[in-house]
Amino acid sequence: MPETLRFALGRAVVTVVNVGDISFDLRGYLNIPETELRARLELQCIVAQRTIPIQCVHIQLPEVSVLIDAGLYDFPPESEYFLAGYSPPAGLPTRLAELGISIEEVEHVVITHGHWDHFNGATHFVDGEHRAQFPRARHYLGRPDWDRAGAKLRDPQSLESRTLGVLHQAGALVLVEGDLALGHGVTIRAAPGETPGHQVVRIHSDGQTLYCLGDLYHHPIEFKEPWWMVAWAEPASIGVTRRAIMAEAVADAALVINTHIPGVGRLDAVSEGVEWGAAQLPPAPVLRVHS
Ligand SMILES: [Zn+2]
């Protein structure tokens, strides 16, 4: 799956970085009835799909640098996500630097939700302690996901303690309730369902709009069939969230990026919901490279 994509959105430069593909049993996790899977040819791609990417998104506006999710690819071979024979690309900080993005200048890191693949690269271990990987950034996590991590945050060895707990201690973690405008057309929107504190990010610049949808969807078919979803999603709340966000995104003629759906999508309204299609992207602009 592509490792990096870059495109212009109004005055913003959007960079999508796949930190690595993981082994993932989409067919097993999605609640698609077996009869449908057998009957519909278009669903054979789900039966065949064995991997998904972990895509983080960087938004560079003239005024502000924003990162959406901070993933780190580090699986022991015994992990269910380990992909045998796969060589992951370099880590997110290295990749961002290669792309001309200074990690010191990242002002906001939005953590879409409290699942490990979205925040495990938010800190790094240096000089015997865990520190923020993006040292000047404020990090944003939905408060319900912080509350849900309660017991793990009391265990100093847990991933949550070494990342979210460290950021909280440092005063670098904002616990978000509801929607939050970050300025310059960037807004965090509460989008519960995947987790209670799940949030998406809307970027609007010079009449163009992008939604970074986190894990609101894991496969394009869920856009058209909004009652199909991963086993751990909460059906009532994700249903409400999907309806509300999709209505806005279609009205905005927005592009969409999902963490685990490769690439960038555009949306078309269809009778039951919306249809996701691969977007034709404008040419990639060049960012200045930091020395
Ligand atoms: Zn995820």
- Do 264 and 257 form a contact (C-beta atoms < 8 A)? yes
* pTM across the whole model: 0.95
**What is the distance between the alpha carbons of residues 242 and 249, in angstroms, rounded to a whole number?**
10
Q: Which of 10-14, 50-54, 84-88, 142-146 is predicted least confidently?
A: 84-88
- Do 169 and 132 form a contact (C-beta atoms < 8 A)? no
> Residue 88 contacts by C-beta under 8 Å, 6 or more apart in sequence?
19, 20, 21, 73
Predicted confidence at residue 60, as pLDDT, reads: 97
pLDDT in tens, 78-93: 999 999 899 999 999 9
Question: Cα of 260 to ligand 1 centre, how many Å?
Answer: 7
- Do 17 and 6 form a contact (C-beta atoms < 8 A)? no
Question: Cα of 291 to ligand 1 centre, how many Å?
Answer: 33
* Per-domain residue ranges of the chain: 4-278
> Residue 146 contacts by C-beta under 8 Å, 6 or more apart in sequence?
114, 153, 164, 168, 173, 175, 197
The residues facing 51 across adjacent strands are 23
Q: How confident is the model at residue 290 (pLDDT cuts 50, 70, 90)?
A: very low
Predicted confidence at residue 274, as pLDDT, reads: 95
The residues facing 64 across adjacent strands are none
| pLDDT > 90? residue 194 | yes
Predicted confidence at residue 287, as pLDDT, reads: 63
Q: How confident is the model at residue 49 (pLDDT cuts 50, 70, 90)?
A: confident
| pLDDT > 80? residue 149 | yes
Best CA proximity match to 245, nearest among 273, 264, 221, 287 = 273
| pLDDT > 80? residue 272 | no
- Compute the mean pLDDT over every residue in the chain, rounded to the nearest whole number: 94
Question: Cα of 288 to ligand 1 centre, how many Å?
Answer: 30
Question: Cα of 54 to ligand 1 centre, how many Å?
Answer: 7
| pLDDT > 60? residue 289 | no
Please give the average per-residue pLDDT across 107-122, as a whole number. 98
| 143 three-class SS | helix
Question: Cα of 73 to ligand 1 centre, how many Å?
Answer: 12
Question: Cα of 116 to ligand 1 centre, how many Å?
Answer: 8
pLDDT in tens, 215-265: 999 999 999 999 999 999 999 999 999 999 999 999 999 999 999 999 999
Question: Cα of 53 to ligand 1 centre, how many Å?
Answer: 9
Q: CB-side exposure of 235: number of CA atoms within 13 Å?
A: 6
Q: Which of 86-90, 142-146, 204-208, 270-274 is predicted least confidently?
A: 270-274
Question: Cα of 268 to ligand 1 centre, how many Å?
Answer: 24
Question: Cα of 290 to ligand 1 centre, how many Å?
Answer: 30
Question: Cα of 91 to ligand 1 centre, how many Å?
Answer: 17
Please give the average per-residue pLDDT across 11-18, as a whole number. 96
pLDDT in tens, 17-48: 999 999 999 999 999 999 999 899 889 988 88
Question: Cα of 18 to ligand 1 centre, how many Å?
Answer: 12
Architecture of 4-278 per CATH? 4-Layer Sandwich (3.60)
Predicted confidence at residue 77, as pLDDT, reads: 87
From residue 126, how far is each of 77, 91, 117, 131, 266 by CA, in Å?
24, 15, 21, 7, 41
